[in-house]
Structures are given as C-alpha cells and as structure tokens.
Amino acid sequence: MIAIVGVVAQNHETIRVSWETTFDGNSDLELCTVEYQQAGSMDWVIATTEADGTLFSYDITGLMPYTEYLVRLMCNNEIGDSNSVIAGPERTGQFSKFKLLNQE
C-alpha cells in the first residue's frame, strides 16, 4: 500500500508528487503509474507508467499555468498492484515573463 505525502507546484508547468510505502509485503516498489486530472474534468491523463517506485517522487511536467490538478498514483511490486490513491487539488504557478531593460 502507498500514501501520497505531497503534491506541490514547482513552477507554472510542473507539479511534484511524493509518496511513501505504508505496507510493501517485504517487497520494494518497482514501477508506479502517475496520472493527473485538470480540476473540473472527468478525464485522467497518464503522466507516466514507468516512474521508479524506489525514488518516491515524480515531476509531472507540461501542465497549464495557474490551473488546479488532482494526482492519482498506483504502484506495483512482486506481491501485486497497490491501491489507487488520489491527492490534490494543487494549482500550478502563474507564468511570468520578465523583460530585461537595456540601460545606456
């Protein structure tokens, strides 16, 4: 079994999801599937099916700025598949564009 311990926006297009193992049957996590859903949508989008379960985090990239997302995580090991857990919503940051001024 797994638990999501963090869903944190890193910038305007990236959310980091972090997890921990609550019970693994003495078998390390192998691969995790990370999915996300834009708030208000019914569709889940697969971010990856090959997140390394032993790293305990994954960055979802290419998201829309200043948008809320839910995150769903499922992992597996030699024993079988974990439960599916959902966390969020988390809002990505706002896109900001800086203009450099040439001072002469």
Tokens of 83: 């439960």
Residue 92 near residue 12, CB atoms below 8 Å: yes
pTM of the model: 0.86
Model confidence pLDDT, tens digit, residues 30-75:
999 999 999 999 999 999 999 998 899 999 999 999 999 999 999 9
Q: In the block, which residue shows the tokens 């971010």?
A: 47
Buried b (16+ CB within 10 A) or exposed e, 77-91: beeeebeebebbebe
Supply angle C-alpha 77, 80, 83, rounded to 5: 100
Domains and CATH numbers, the chain: 2-91 (2.60.40.10)
The SS3 of residue 101 is: coil
Confidence of residue 13 (pLDDT cuts 50, 70, 90): very high
